[in-house]
């Protein structure tokens, strides 16, 4: 990943990006268990307290193992595609058993019933991390909109919107990483007088952390922040926060 320095007002983020406690440690966004070696260079890191850092790791492992079990149709480490996840399941028979217990079979199709509380906790944490890193916005309040699930569950027209790049109308926090990623492009439009005009558009594109494994887009339109995440081109998440005067 391209390394981008944050020139936004650092006072916007004080302490742990998840709970506001003291930032004793740094947390990778996304967590390494969702990526494969060799890891991308310059992985994003955000400030985080010890308790949040430890508090999420079991749920993140569960989530990484669940996604792979679904994609491989099995909890057998020998059949798991990602080597690091296969190792995780081998070393934690309890975790493997837990996922195995959630297995269902309908008409010969293997499925797994996810523990949505744990999955949502992980996705919200990732979204908060991306918002803090990309937009310099610590969204600690509950989101105004939250959705996560398999990409294929989205109706086709929603998928198109979900995957598209974002044309930025208003610019977010000056100097944030997201602002520096925006690309300017020129478009030619026909004005009301019939004359052709060139206008500058700002394009906010998806950030590919690791090909086919993890990508996200962070959108800041002043009053609304949107984070979209796609994992293994299978599982997606959308989180929206609306500004209501305070960021807590
Ligand atoms: Zn914390």
CA of 139 to the centre of ligand 1 (A): 13
> 237 CA distance to ligand 1 centroid (A)?
22
187-236 per-position pLDDT tens digit: 787 878 888 888 777 888 899 999 999 999 999 887 899 999 999 999 99
Protein residues with C-beta less than 5 angstroms from the ion ligand 1: 16, 18-19, 21, 49, 52
Q: Give the whole-angstrom CA distance, residue 68 versus residue 129.
A: 23
pLDDT above 70 (res 171):
no
Q: How far is the CA of 129 from the centre of ligand 1 (A)?
A: 11
First vs last C-alpha separation in the chain: 30
225 Cα to the center of ligand 1, angstroms: 21
Angle formed at CA 171 by CA 165 and CA 173, multiple of 5 degrees: 115
pTM of the model: 0.88
- Write the pLDDT tens digit of every residue in 39-76: 999 899 999 999 999 999 999 999 999 999 999 999 99
Q: 224-242 in b/e burial notation, b at 16+ Cβ within 10 A?
A: ebbbbbbbbeebbbbbbbe
The average pLDDT across 97-105 equals 96
Assess whether pLDDT exceeds 70 at residue 121: yes
Task: Provide mean pLDDT across the span 93-110.
Answer: 94
């Amino acid at each position: 990943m391209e390394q981008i320095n944050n020139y936004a007002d650092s006072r916007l983020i004080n302490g742990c990006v998840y709970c506001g406690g003291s930032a004793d440690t740094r947390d990778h966004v996304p967590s390494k268990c969702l990526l494969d070696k060799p890891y991308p260079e310059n992985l994003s890191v955000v400030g985080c307290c010890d308790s949040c850092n430890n508090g999420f790791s079991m749920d993140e492992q569960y989530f990484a193992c669940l996604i792979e079990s679904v994609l491989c149709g099995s909890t057998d480490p020998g059949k798991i595609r990602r080597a690091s996840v296969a190792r995780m399941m081998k070393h934690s028979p309890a975790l493997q058993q837990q996922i195995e217990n959630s297995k269902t079979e309908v008409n010969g199709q293997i499925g797994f019933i996810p523990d949505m509380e744990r999955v949502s906790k992980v996705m919200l944490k990732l979204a908060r991390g991306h918002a803090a890193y990309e937009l310099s916005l610590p969204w600690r309040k509950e989101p105004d909109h939250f959705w996560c699930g398999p990409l294929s569950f989205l109706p086709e027209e929603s998928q198109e919107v979900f995957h598209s790049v974002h044309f930025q109308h208003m610019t977010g926090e000056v100097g944030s990483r997201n602002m520096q990623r925006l690309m300017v492009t020129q478009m030619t439009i026909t004005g009301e007088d019939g004359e052709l005009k060139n206008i500058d558009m700002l394009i906010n594109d998806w950030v590919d952390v690791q090909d086919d494994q993890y990508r996200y887009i962070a959108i800041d339109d002043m009053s609304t922040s949107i984070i979209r995440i796609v994992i293994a081109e299978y599982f997606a998440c959308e989180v929206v926060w609306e500004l209501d005067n305070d960021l807590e």
